[in-house]
Structure formats: structure tokens, C-alpha cells
Amino acid sequence: MSDDWTEIYRPHGLGEVVGNPKAVEELKAWADSWASGRPAKRAAVLIGTPGTGKTSAALALAADYGWDVVEMNASDQRNADAIKGIAMRGALGQTFTPEGEYHSTKAGRLKLIILDEADNISGREDRGGVPAIVEVVRSAKQPVILIVNDWYALTKKSSVLKTQTEQIKFSRIKPVTVRGVLRKIAKDQGVKISDSALELLAENSGGDLRSAIRDLQAVATGREEVTDLDTRVVSAREVEKTMYQAMDSVFKYTDPMSARAKMAEVEEAPDTKLLWIEENLPIAYRESLDLYNGMRQVAKASSYLGWVHRRQYYGFWSYAGDLLSFGVCAAKRREVRGYVRYQFPSYLMKMSRSKSVRATQSQVCAKIGEMVHMSSAEVRQELLPYFRLLFKRDKEFQLRMTIDLGLEVEEVAFILEEKIDSNAVKHVMSDVKRVLDAKDQKMEKAIDRKKVLDMLDEPPAAPKPQPSALQRTLF
Ligand SMILES: Nc1ncnc2c1ncn2[C@@H]1O[C@H](COP(=O)(O)OP(=O)(O)O)[C@@H](O)[C@H]1O
Ligand SMILES: [Mg+2]
């Protein structure tokens, strides 16, 4: 099973779709209109920003009404071709698979055709993407749902889409609603989280429930409790915001000078910018030639950055920056319209997940280093593997080190290479506690005995020295 919380908590029915009650009602009314034959408006268009529940609502509707689903993402080249092919053949009596084959429709059972990211249909400028969608809408004999972020861009060229579809708007989800969803998920996952942390996450999401759930998963993973939200996540989002804007000016628009300026505003190292551009170039540029030319700019930028690192030629930094912004922007032949779903660079994602592990590692190495008079780096390279081996095998060593080094629970988990809440770690900590408790008791007893002995031959109390009346102060 997927461990992506946005998938795990996807609504199963319309009743679970939060926010936008009006949109849900309109969607139901449209679906009901199919009960008595084919309605005038065979397509509904769900319009709204990402993470507001459009795809979820479409799938939930099908589940509630017992409809089959054919889901196609129009920004995928293969799907786009299939949609066009089918529209050309005017063959929409039956529904179809992404391969362009027909699903036969069982008697009485409707098939919902979901065209997700319809405003992004691949190559719609020159290869008839929009006409294909219009054709699908006009000749469909089954219910069709179009999902779009940018309705205006799609309808500029077609009035048919405007008049023959039922348009349903999805607004951003309110922070209080987002908070409610997050609280439920945290509870279900057994993660304790403070109200202030929930509020921060909710405010920060900008009404995008998907990203709110993702943020929650990012901060909660591997912890039982999120008390004070790691503010780095939040500020990382701020940088991300300017980064997303810069991405738009590089990838979507055709003004290289402004792309260069926008990119320069982002406070990130050129290496990070390169990761962003590299990750998102293939998502944004769907024409092969644009992609090729763009990638050449990225490759050049990468070799300049290599010089910076190997030879400290910092002057090359700005060249790399220009290639990544100006160069990549100028590499395309025309504007890229519609919404582009940029991705956070996967490399950075992996690194930030391992960041806390690295922090723990350096703490542990510093503690061991202090004891054996070695630097943390030396400990990490030379000692840690053996230390770890002994720690895992030898119970006495384990207890002694945990006590002498004052190891915290996450440090023990790190050394054992186990999760914090695993039984192995819990055992060590409870053994340590027992040893320490026993020690305390012994100490107390020892102290008591000493007290008694002292009392037995206590000398008579000497008179306390009286402060001299003359010397009030030292100065
Ligand atoms: N209105 C909503 N109700 C419940 N969950 C939602 C809602 N909106 C988004 N989500 C959560 O976010 C994820 C992505 O939402 P999705 O429906 O794909 O949004 P969109 O299609 O508008 O971008 C879902 O899997 C679900 O976990
Ligand atoms: Mg969607």
C-alpha cells in the first residue's frame, strides 16, 4: 500500500469531500440529470487551483453513483493522442481506454470520462488539442468531466466549451477546514500535534489541501509528537514560492530578461537552482526540440558550476545563473500556456529527509569523540562502525555507553539503526532507566549511612563567627 498520505486520505465518496459544498451540490445535480437519459450538458468542468479536491470529487462522484471511470490525464502525450484519435473518428458512443481501444458499456451502467488537466492538453497549439476536447464534449454519449486550472486559457478559442458545459468552481479550502482535516489525519496516524503547529501548516498551505497534507506528513514522519513545528519547513515554503514564480517566468513566458531577473531574486545557491530547472524542464517543455535546446543550456550551466567547485572560479556562477534562466527561457519557440505542475527536486527531497539523520550522527560522533579524544570526523570514519557493532552485540557495552555518553533516545535509535519507537530502542532505554534507578537507590542508602555515622560523633557546634561591626563592605 502507498504510504502517501494524500492518497491514503483521498475521499471515498462525495460526503468526504471537504469545503466547496456548493460545488458538490452542483456536481450531484449534473449527475442526477443523467438519470433520465442524456442531458443537454454532457460535460461538467471542474475549475480551480490545485489541491482543492477536483480530481477527488470526480472520482467520489463515480463511486457514489456506481459509474465506471475512464481517467485520462490530457497533459500526457500518449493520452492526448488517444483523445485526438478518438475525437477524429467521432467514435464516442463507447468510451475508450488510454490505448484508444473501446470499453464496451454494460447495459445501464454509465462510464464517466475524466479528462484531467484538460487545459494542458499536449501540443494543443499546433496539433488540435483544443478541437479534440471540443469534439469529445460535443459528441460524448457518456458523462464527461473536464478538470482545469485555467479555464480562460482553454475557452479563449472555443465558445462551444462555454455553452455546452456545466461549469463548477472549486475555491481554495479555508484554513479552518484544512486544520480540521490535518487534525483528523494526525489522530489517525497516532501523531500528537499542537494546535499552533496545525494552524501554521494550515495557514501556510494557501488553501491547497494536498500540499498541507504533504507538509504534515513531512514534519510528522518518524515522530510521535510534533510540538513545535520545525520552522524550517515553513521558511522553505517561502523560498519555494518565489522559486515557483521564477519557474513560471523561465518556462512559460518568452521574456528571457525578466526570467533572468526573477531567477536572480530567488535566494538559493546556483546548484539548487540547477536542480529545480533540471527537474522541471521535461515537465514544462513538451515539444522535443524545446526540451533538447533547454537541456543543452542546463548542461552548459552544469559544467560552469563544475569549474566553480573545482577551481573556485566564482565568476562562473553568474554565467551558470544566466544559462539557467535566460538561456532556458530563450530555448523554447513559443509560450507554454496553462498550468504547469512543478515538482520539488527529488534530490533535495531525499537530502532533507536524511538531514535529521545526519544531525544525529554528528551529535553521536561528537559525544564519542569527547570521550576518546578524537575529532567527530575521525570518529565517524574510523570508530563508528566498530562502536555500532559492539553496541548492537554487547549488552553491557550498550548500557554503559548509553549512560556514560548520556545518549538520547534518537541517538540510540541511530546507533542501532532502528526506528525511535521500535522495541529494540525501547528496551535499551528501559534497561538504562532501571540501572540508573538502582544506582540512585544505592546512593541514597550510602548517603543515609554516612549521615548516621556523622551524627554519632558530631562535634559540638562551634559558635558562628559574628560579622565585624567595623567591616561592612570590602570596599
Ligand atoms: N476537498 C477535499 N476534500 C478532501 N480531501 C481533499 C480535498 N481536496 C484535496 N484533498 C486531498 O488532497 C489530495 C489531492 O486532491 P485532488 O483532488 O487531487 O485535488 P485537485 O484535483 O483539485 O488538485 C487528495 O488525495 C486528498 O487527500
Ligand atoms: Mg487533480
Domain of residue 193, CATH code: 1.10.8.60
Residue 157 inside a domain? The answer is yes
Are residues 374 and 333 part of one domain? no
Are residues 251 and 223 part of one domain? no
Residue 318 inside a domain? The answer is yes
* CB under 5 Å of ion ligand 2: residues: 55
Residue 465 inside a domain? The answer is no
Q: For ligand 1, say whether the CB of 172 is within 6 Å of any of its atoms.
A: no
Q: For ligand 1, say whether the CB of 53 is within 6 Å of any of its atoms.
A: yes
Are residues 225 and 157 part of one domain? no
pLDDT at 201: 84
- Tell me which of 27, 49, 114, 209 to substitute to probe ligand 1's pocket, judged by most ligand atoms within 8 Å of the beta carbon: 209
The residue from 170, 186, 207 where one domain ends is 170
Look at residue 11 and give its three-state secondary structure: coil
Q: For ligand 1, say whether the CB of 118 is within 6 Å of any of its atoms.
A: no
Nearest CA to ligand 1 atom 8: 53
- CA of 51 relative to ligand 1 center, distance in Å: 5
Nearest CA to ligand 1 atom 13: 210
Residue 364 inside a domain? The answer is yes
Q: For ligand 1, say whether the CB of 46 is within 6 Å of any of its atoms.
A: no
CA distance 475 to 458: 38
pLDDT at 350: 62
pLDDT at 265: 86
Are residues 317 and 418 part of one domain? no
Are residues 186 and 159 part of one domain? no
Residue 444 inside a domain? The answer is no
Q: CB-based burial of residue 271 (10 Å sphere; 0-12 exposed, 13-18 middle, 19+ buried)?
A: middle
Nearest CA to ligand 1 atom 10: 53
In DSSP notation, 279-340 reads: HHHHHH--SHHHHHHHHHHHHHHHHHHHHHHHH--TTHHHHHHHIIIIIHHHTSSSPPPS--
Q: Where are the beta strands (DSSP E) in 149-238?
A: 165-170, 192-193, 225-226
Q: Which atom of ligand 1 is nearest to the CA of 48?
A: 22
Which of 241, 205, 236 is CA-nearest to residue 52? 205
Which of 165, 83, 140 is CA-nearest to residue 117? 83
- CA of 116 relative to ligand 2 center, distance in Å: 7
- CA of 24 relative to ligand 1 center, distance in Å: 13
Are residues 334 and 271 part of one domain? yes
Are residues 159 and 33 part of one domain? yes
CA distance 11 to 383: 50
Are residues 116 and 100 part of one domain? yes
The residue from 344, 372, 404 where one domain ends is 344
- Cβ within 8 Å of residue 177, ≥6 positions away: 18, 19
Nearest 10 degrees: Cα torsion 180, 184, 186, 190: 150
Are residues 401 and 317 part of one domain? no
Nearest CA to ligand 1 atom 7: 53
Angle between helices 231-251 and 195-204 (to 10 degrees): 10
What sign results for the dihedral spanned by CA atoms 373, 376, 381, 386?
positive
Are residues 134 and 90 part of one domain? yes
Q: Which atom of ligand 1 is nearest to the CA of 20?
A: 1
> For cell 460535460, what's the residue?
43
CA distance 176 to 201: 11
Which long-range contacts link 284-292 to residues 24+ away (Cβ below 8 Å)? 284/247, 284/251, 284/252, 284/336, 284/340, 284/342, 285/251, 285/331, 285/332, 285/336, 286/75, 286/77, 286/122, 286/123, 286/336, 287/123, 287/332, 287/333, 289/333, 290/331, 290/332, 290/333
Residue 441 inside a domain? The answer is no
Are residues 405 and 299 part of one domain? no
Q: For ligand 1, say whether the CB of 50 is within 6 Å of any of its atoms.
A: yes
Q: Are 266 and 260 in contact (CB under 8 A)?
A: no
Look at residue 186 and give its three-state secondary structure: helix
Q: How many CB atoms lie within 10 A of CB 441?
A: 10
- Count: domains in the chain: 4
- CA of 117 relative to ligand 2 center, distance in Å: 7
pLDDT by 10s per residue, the chain, length 475: 468 899 999 999 999 999 999 999 999 999 999 888 788 899 999 999 889 999 999 999 999 999 988 888 887 767 777 777 765 554 455 555 544 444 554 445 788 889 888 887 765 454 667 778 888 888 888 899 999 988 887 787 677 888 889 999 999 999 999 999 999 999 999 888 888 888 888 887 888 999 889 888 877 876 777 765 554 555 556 666 788 889 999 999 999 999 999 999 887 888 889 999 999 999 999 889 999 999 999 999 999 998 887 777 778 888 999 999 999 999 999 999 888 888 878 777 666 555 567 778 888 999 999 999 988 888 988 899 899 999 999 999 999 999 999 998 889 988 998 888 888 999 999 999 888 888 877 776 766 666 656 655 555 555 555 555 454 444 4
Output the domain CATH number for residue 152: 3.40.50.300
Q: For ligand 1, say whether the CB of 17 is within 6 Å of any of its atoms.
A: yes
Residue 451 inside a domain? The answer is no
Query: Any idea what DSSP says for residue 467?
Result: P
Residue 330 inside a domain? The answer is yes
Whole-angstrom Cα Rg for the chain? 32
Question: How many CA atoms does the CB half-sphere of 284 hold within 13 Å?
Answer: 29
- CA of 74 relative to ligand 2 center, distance in Å: 12
Which of 153, 156, 81, 117 is CA-nearest to residue 335? 153
What sign results for the dihedral spanned by CA atoms 432, 433, 434, 438?
positive
Nearest CA to ligand 1 atom 4: 17
CA distance 404 to 391: 13
What is the DSSP pairing of strand 165-170 with strand 43-48?
Answer: parallel
Per the structure, the complete domain to which residue 147 belongs is given by 5-170
Q: For ligand 1, say whether the CB of 122 is within 6 Å of any of its atoms.
A: no
- CA of 73 relative to ligand 2 center, distance in Å: 9
Q: For ligand 1, say whether the CB of 11 is within 6 Å of any of its atoms.
A: yes
Q: How many CB atoms lie within 10 A of CB 257?
A: 12
The residue from 344, 366, 393 where one domain ends is 344
- CA of 250 relative to ligand 2 center, distance in Å: 24
Strand-pair partners of 46: 147, 168
pLDDT at 91: 43
C-alpha cell of 98? 488510454
Q: Are 100 and 67 in contact (CB under 8 A)?
A: no
Q: Are 95 and 142 in contact (CB under 8 A)?
A: yes
Residue 41, CA distances (Å) to 64, 74, 105 in order: 20, 21, 20
Look at residue 192 and give its three-state secondary structure: strand
pLDDT at 474: 45
Q: For ligand 1, say whether the CB of 55 is within 6 Å of any of its atoms.
A: yes
Are residues 126 and 61 part of one domain? yes
What is the DSSP pairing of strand 192-193 with strand 165-170?
Answer: unpaired
Residue 19, CA distances (Å) to 16, 23, 51, 166, 384 in order: 10, 9, 11, 20, 52
